[in-house]
Amino acid sequence: MGPHVIIIGGGFAGLDAARVFAGAPVRVTLLDRHNHHVFQPLLYQVATAALSPGDIASPIRWILRHQKNVDVLLADVVSIDVASRTVNTDDGPLSYDFLIVAAGASHAYFGHGEWEPRAPGLKTLDDALEMRRRVLIAFEAAERETDPAAQRRLLTFVIVGGGPTGVELAGALAEIARHTLHGNFRHIRPESARILLLEGGPSVLPTFPEKLRTAARASLVKLGVEVRTGVVVTGIDSDGVTAAQEHIAAQTILWAAGVAASPLAKSLGVPIDRTGRVAPQPTLNLREHPEVFVAGDMCAFVQDGKPLPGVAQVAKQEGAHAAKNILHAIRGEPLEPFRYVNYGNVATIGRGSAVVDIGPVRVSGWFAWLFWLFLHIFWLIGFRNRIVVLTEWAWAYVTFQRRIRLITGTNGLKRRSQM
C-alpha cells in the first residue's frame, strides 16, 4: 500500500498537497472538521448577500473523488503526538508515516477574546451567514425604531481592519446601503447609513504599493465610507466601539483585523511565533521531526528576509511543495528547499473598482475590477460555481441587486440587544 500520509486541513494548502499525490504509491488520509473546502477570498460576498454559501464552497470528498488513493474523513483534530506519530481526532487516534499540517488560521482579537461576540470575524461559511444576518437585521431594526438616536446607532456599521477583507466588506456594505436597499424601506433611508472603516496602521491595504493604497482609499471615500487610519480600537461594548478616545455608537461591528494560526501548531512542540505559526526548515519540514511538514497560514516561512503573507497562493505552493518533498523522501532523494513565486496581489473595493499589483502592472479602477473578477472566476473550484458566480455578478452589476438578502437563524429583532 505504501507509506501513510495524513493531511490535516482541506483548505488551499491541504488540497494542493493531496493533488500532488495523485497516482503516487502512497495512502493519503485528508482530515477536515468541515466537509467542504471554502473559497475564502469570496466569503465577504456571502456576508454581504451577493452570493450563496454553495457558490463558493464544494465538498472535499467531491473535489478529490477521482483520486483513489485519498481517503477523506470528516474529523476534528484535537492534538498531534509527534513522538508516537499519531494524530488524535474527536473520533480516535490515527497513525502516520508522514504528516502535513495545514489547518490554517483564524481571527484574533489582540488579547481581547471578549470582543468576539460583539465583533464577529470572517473565516467560515457560518461566520459569513452570521455577518449577513447582523447586517440585514440592523436595517430591519432601524425601520421599526422611532427614537432618532437609536435609529442612528442601528444604521452605523463599523469595520475594524483595513486589509483586503475590511476594504471589501466596507465597499460592499456601502453598496448595499446606497444602492441595493434604496427604496425598499418606508421609515428609514438606508443610504443614510454610516459605514466606518477603522485601521490601526497608517493606510488601508498596507501590502499594496502607495499609489494603489491611495486609489483604494479614494474609491472607498467615493462610496461614502468614512476611512480612519492610525486609529486603534481600545474597546468594544454593547453600545459600540471606542477608538482614538472617541466612542462610536454602533449596532454592527465587523472584525477584519488580527489573525492567529490554528492551535494545533502548539501541539507540534516546536517554537511558534507571535501569531502562533510554526517556522519550518527551508524544506517545509521540522528539524526535530523531518516526517512532519507545515504549509499555508500555519507556516511562518521567511523568504529574502521577509515573512511570506497569509494568502492563498502561498498556501497552495507550500502545500504542493510539502507533498513533493514527501515523495522525494519516500524515493530516498534529497528534499528541495521551498521558494515562493509571487504572481501578485489583487483586492476589490465595491462595484467596478479594484486594485491590481502584478509585477510591473499596478492599476486601479474598472479594468482592474474586471481582471479581479475573471481571476476569481478562474480560481473557483467547480464549473457550476464558476457559471453561477459569473451569472450572479452580471445580474448584480446590471440591477444593483444582491439576491441573497435572507435573514436565517434566530429572530434577531427580538434578540437585538444581545448582538
For the bound state, the minimum distance from the C-beta of residue 4 to ligand FAD, rounded and expressed in Å, comes to 17
CA 102/CA 278 separation, integer angstroms:
11
Contact in structure between 99 and 5 (CB atoms under 8 Å): yes
For the bound state, the minimum distance from the C-beta of residue 356 to ligand FAD, rounded and expressed in Å, comes to 12
With b for 16 or more beta-carbon neighbours within 10 A and e for fewer, the 173-195 pattern comes to bbbbbbbbbeeeeeebebeebbb
- Nearer to ligand FAD (CB atom), residue 33 or residue 152: 33
CA 56/CA 315 separation, integer angstroms:
18
- Nearer to ligand FAD (CB atom), residue 164 or residue 190: 164
- Nearer to ligand FAD (CB atom), residue 4 or residue 34: 34
Alpha helices in 181-310 (DSSP H): 210-222
Query: What is the identity of the amino acid at 276?
Result: G
Q: What is the phi/psi pair of residue 363, to 5°?
A: -130, 155
Annotated catalytic residue within 168, 199, 318, 392: 168
User: E strands within 86-126?
Assistant: 86-89, 92-95, 98-101, 105-107
Burial of 360 (0-12, 13-18, 19+ CB in 10 A): exposed
- Grid-cell match 475594524, residue found: 160
Catalytic site includes residue 168? yes
For the bound state, the minimum distance from the C-beta of residue 292 to ligand FAD, rounded and expressed in Å, comes to 15
- Nearer to ligand FAD (CB atom), residue 115 or residue 372: 372
- Nearer to ligand FAD (CB atom), residue 40 or residue 48: 40
Reported as type and span, the H/E element at residue 242 is strand 240-243
In the complex, the residues that contact ligand FAD under the rule CB under 6 A are 8-14, 31-34, 40-41, 43-44, 76-77, 102-104, 122-123, 164-165, 262, 264, 296-297, 310-313, 315
Bridge pairing between strands 86-89 and 77-81: antiparallel
For the bound state, the minimum distance from the C-beta of residue 273 to ligand FAD, rounded and expressed in Å, comes to 15
For the bound state, the minimum distance from the C-beta of residue 325 to ligand FAD, rounded and expressed in Å, comes to 17
For the bound state, the minimum distance from the C-beta of residue 261 to ligand FAD, rounded and expressed in Å, comes to 9
Q: Which residue is nearest to ligand FAD (CB)?
A: 11
- Give CA separation, 35 vs 32, 70, 93, 267, in Å: 7, 15, 19, 24
Contact in structure between 171 and 350 (CB atoms under 8 Å): yes
Query: What is the identity of the amino acid at 243?
Result: A
Residues with active-site annotation: 168
